[in-house]
Copies of this chain bind each other. A is one copy, B any other.
């Protein structure tokens, strides 16, 4: 996503009002690589703006998705997570702590065209599941 300042400009240019609620969401997302849920964003915004409603947070997040500023990450568990990183990357989901990490897989994954002719691949999503370093340490056998 763009910086909160750039988003402010873009919203104004589009005739959208730059409200404190929207700016609160901008800042809650900026530099946030935790793949937060809408509720997590809500909690962060409420720290400085206790009266903001969850409904509005959802609204702003969906506006940002429609503008292509952020992405939605659906990992099959519970709620949608929001990702200010829209560059191509993959995800690692820890089964211990539930955290989602950005990763970059080595190989370019492709469908073998000879086996799947006429399949038009437009997007590829890779999800690794396992234990993150912190959670692996906990249950690791002590030497």
Contact = CB atoms under 8 A, between A and B. Distances in A.
Contacts of A67: none
Contacts of A108: 107
Contacts of A122: 95, 129-131
A126 interface: yes
Contacts of A76: 74-76
Interface string A114-143: 011111111111111111110011000000
Given A76-B74, A76-B75, A126-B126, A116 B103 contact: yes
Interface residues of A, number: 38
Given A76-B76, A129-B122, A103 B95 contact: no
A110 interface: yes
6 contacts: A74-B76, A103-B119, A105-B110, A106-B109, A125-B127, A126-B127
Interface of A: 74-77, 92, 95, 101, 103-112, 115-133, 136-137
